[in-house]
Amino acid sequence: NPTPRVAEVYGGMMNAIGLQNPGIDLFCKRDIPYLKNYDTKIIVNVCGHAPEEYLEVVERLADEPIDMMEINISCPNVNAGFLAFGQDAKHVEELTRQIKKIAKQPIIMKLTPNVTDITEIAKAAEAGGADAVSLINTLTGMKIDINRKTFAVANKTGGVSGPIVKPIAVRMVYQVAQAVNIPIIGMGGISCAEDAIEFLLAGASAVSVGTANFHNPAVTMEVIDGIEAYMKK
């Protein structure tokens, strides 16, 4: 997307990066071998603007030494008039089913919160054969610069993340945990161990930390140590 692409908002940030990345060829040639030097799991986030794009990338990754794929279904679906894939339960189930046919690794479907009922989407992902779901992705927001009298990000709207979205994320994780039997990766505004524990108590099997890394690069280590201390206590 054109710049500016990031803006600060109360309790978080808003971004409209788009899907900037080096492409699947360079990723397989350069990034996977680099990551294999470390004792870590490799989870690849996959996105596309049409089902064919998702399937092409999943097929390319099938024989690569990666552990899981997270399918980002918050991308606008060109074929469905730019409604995000993840906003239509039928699309979610069908896309999940098609991906599962060709994927050789477990599949996580990443759910958008920009829907009326997130449990319907989660159930559709489960019905399509998803191995897990992750939620929530960013909430759509807007910020206007009153001095420049224009939008803070060039895209007009952006994805809001950070502590401001956490109560919504915890609620959605809890709802989805009641609705499906597959594991949930909880995310959305986690910035300390207490936040992560809240998600685990709501029904998540794992957590993911994003925005907090911008102001505290050591945050994941602190979360891990904090969870351990909490368990001992």
By annotation, the residues acting in catalysis are 75
Q: Are 132 and 105 in contact (CB under 8 A)?
A: no
The whole-angstrom separation of Cα 189 and Cα 122 is: 20
Task: Return the H-helix or E-strand segment holding 207.
Answer: strand 206-208
State the helix-helix crossing angle for 89-102 and 118-127, rounded to 10 degrees. Answer: 30
Angle at 169 between CA 226 and CA 22, to 5 degrees: 85
For the chain, what's the residue count? 233
For 100, counting Cβ atoms within 10 Å of its Cβ (0-12 exposed, 13-18 middle, 19+ buried), the class is middle
